[in-house]
Amino acid sequence: MSGETLGGDAAALVDEFAVAEVCGVDPVGIEQDSVRVRAALARYGVVCLPMSRALEDSELQVVAGLFGAIKDPIGRTVHGGYYQYDKRRQIIDTGFVLTDELREQLGDPTFGGLDDRRPGLFETYHCDDTFTEEPAGATVLHARDLPPSGGGPTCFIDMRSAYEMLDASMRQRLEGLRVVYAYNNEDAFPPRRAARGPAEVLVEVAHPLVRTHPVAKTRALFIDLDRATHIEGMPIAEGQSLLQELQAHAEANAPACQHEWRAHDVLVWDNASVQHKASGNFKEGEPRCFWRYMIAGERPV
């Protein structure tokens, strides 16, 4: 486990990028913990709340609620209506194996990512929910079932530092640029594969390439090549090349940290500040299952 261990207050926060472990959070009567866990998330971008046992769904909702209102995953459609593109609580089964038999039954679906056999496993850096008009402000993940090895870490890179590390001319070039996102980005950034399915009915959205944090007011690169299609007002190839250049810069140069999973951990990350990816270094067929709630976010600015 990387990062500081925080006790009764957030005064011990430091500036280095790490997973902040906030101890002593109990689902019963935890309203007083909201200030310190939100402060930790705004500063670090990633927070772990160790739990001594698996939480009931109602308890996880209380913990998630410390970080804001839980998002109801509904978006506008191209037909003028609304579509619920996911359940309020999602089950993230990164150990699920898509066999040939299942693939035939389901009509050969695509979910994105790189792993053809384990479609729930996203081993490329990305942000969550970028294809919606108000992407999730944060993601809350509760470990329910892990492989004996823990299943490998979840990895993060600091997109605030990635922005600050750019030279002045590049930062000036990025001012005002907006990236277009879609549920199905038509394989715009191979080898990443697009997702295809009913959620393709959602409207395309555009978000600023440089995003200001709604609380901390820090600035960060806001990129998700799993859903991005192009940059508004720029030739497609030129815009895609710029996005790939920025992503490569972030992965090569920005500070990184990782979380080694333990039973019952609750891990929370700030989608306005960091990118994340899973690790797939566990045997095919082993369980690696989480409950996920997304925290409602604002329209990026």
CA distances from 191 to 113, 116, 119, 216, 225 (A): 9, 12, 14, 34, 11
The per-residue pLDDT for range 173-196, each reduced to its tens digit, is 999 999 999 999 999 999 998 988
The per-residue pLDDT for range 192-207, each reduced to its tens digit, is 989 888 999 999 999 9
Q: Which domains does the chain have, with CATH numbers?
A: 5-295 (3.60.130.10)
Query: Quick one: pLDDT at residue 285?
Result: 74
> For the chain, which ranges sit under pLDDT 50?
1-14
Query: Quick one: pLDDT at residue 9?
Result: 35
